Amino acid sequence: MKTASRIYTALLFIFLFAPIAILLIFSFNESKSLSVFSQFSLKWYRELFRDEATLTSVRNTLLLALTAMIGSTILGTAAAVGIQRLRARWLRASLNTVTNIPMTNPDIITGISMMLMFVFSGRLFGLANSLSFWTMLIAHVTFCLPYVILQVLPKLRQMDAALPEAAMDLGCTPIQAFFKVTLPEIMPGIITGAIMAFTMSLDDFVISYFTSGAGFQTLPIRIYNMTKKTVTPKMYALATIIFFVILALLLISNLTDEDSGRKRKARKSKTID
């Protein structure tokens, strides 16, 4: 039984990581082929850092993900606070459903309907390019919003409603009470929401594809367009770099989490002592 479960776990990990491993290995291949490993070389990494178009698309992707993250986090937190304050239960429930629509809607429908709306309003203003960075940003904020709201709402619910009231009793204005008491209390939810928004925006293809305008293509779109011919090994190099950056970030966040967890425990045991 034990060996069976071990084999199962091993298989699971092989299926999860074999594709990444293959990509990693072939990013160091001298030749272009995916079948023949001719010689170890850093050629494709050199090529990658010389390829202006790809680097631009990486910059575009990061810029878009960061701005979409900031936008959706601010809007999403505000929306969550607003929803939480609603007294009428049916109103709260229906608002929750409405905000979840961009998340549950198939990407392709969100993408096409967004594009149609942008084209329509672009024509209204007589713009030649109705799609641009800004339309992409609006689309990304839209589909990232529910993830932020869903992360922040439970934190608001967990928070003792008396806390901001106490702050106001002690002389805080409502805005001060929000920034000094409520915000620190729900911060973990906001951060998780922001990280989710960032990753969702980073790897979105379908919605970006429909809402991207002239002169602003993101990395997923660029890679997709390469498939007419072959995807160049530069992309394997890029994927490898992204993989390691994300791995490093995960390790750091896990380590600091553990660290703060230990500290918290230590603090708790001290107070008990």
Partner 1 sequence: MKKTFSLALAAAMLVLLFVGCGNSAKVLNVYNWGEYISDGSEDSYDTIAEFEKWYEATYNENITVNYDTFQSNEDMYAKLSAGAVSYDVVIPSDYMIARMSSENMLLPLNFDNIPNYANIDPNFKGLYYDPDNLYTVPYAYGIVGVIYNANEVDEADADGWNLMWNEKYSGRILSFNNSRDAFGTAMYKLGIDVNSTNTADWDRAYEELMVQRPLLYGQVMDEIYNMMESGEAAIGAYYAGDYFTMLDNQADTVDLRFYYPDPTNYYIDAMCIPSCCQNKELAEIFINFMLSRDAAVANAIYTYYASPNSIVFNDEEYLDELGEETISILYPGISDFAKEYNRLAYRNLSQDMLDYINTLWEKVKIN
Residue 138's closest CA among 189, 210, 194, 90? 210
Q: Residue 142 and residue 233: Cα distance in Å, rounded? A: 34
Residue 138 CB partners (closer than 8 Å, separation 6+): 114, 118, 211
Residue 40: DSSP 8-state: B
State which residue, 42 or 248, has the beta carbon closest to partner 1.
42
122 lies in the binding site for partner 1 (CB under 8 A):
yes
State which residue, 230 or 253, has the beta carbon closest to partner 1.
230
Options 99-107, 141-149, 191-199, 220-228: segment touching partner 1 (CB under 8 A): 220-228
Q: Using CB under 8 A, which of 70, 96, 133, 159 touches partner 1? A: 133
State which residue, 230 or 260, has the beta carbon closest to partner 1.
230
SS3 state at 29: strand
Residue 205 CB partners (closer than 8 Å, separation 6+): 220, 221, 224
234 lies in the binding site for partner 1 (CB under 8 A):
yes
Site string for partner 1, 70-109 (x = CB under 8 A): ----------------------------------------
- Measured in residues, the chain has a length of 273
Options 4-12, 95-103, 125-133, 148-156: segment touching partner 1 (CB under 8 A): 125-133
Q: Using CB under 8 A, which of 228, 266, 269, 272 touches partner 1? A: 228
Q: Using CB under 8 A, which of 93, 127, 252, 255 touches partner 1? A: 127
Query: Which phi and psi angles does 39 have, rounded to 5°?
Result: -165, 145
Q: Residue 114 and residue 24: Cα distance in Å, rounded? A: 36
67 lies in the binding site for partner 1 (CB under 8 A):
no
39 lies in the binding site for partner 1 (CB under 8 A):
no
224 lies in the binding site for partner 1 (CB under 8 A):
yes
Dihedral sign, Cα of residue 49, residue 50, residue 54, residue 55: positive
At which residue do the structure tokens 């934190």 appear?
155
Q: Residue 91 and residue 124: Cα distance in Å, rounded? A: 33
Options 85-93, 98-106, 111-119, 189-197: segment touching partner 1 (CB under 8 A): 111-119
The residues binding partner 1 (CB under 8 A) are: 31-36, 47, 50-53, 115-116, 118-119, 122-123, 127-134, 213-217, 222, 224-230, 232, 234
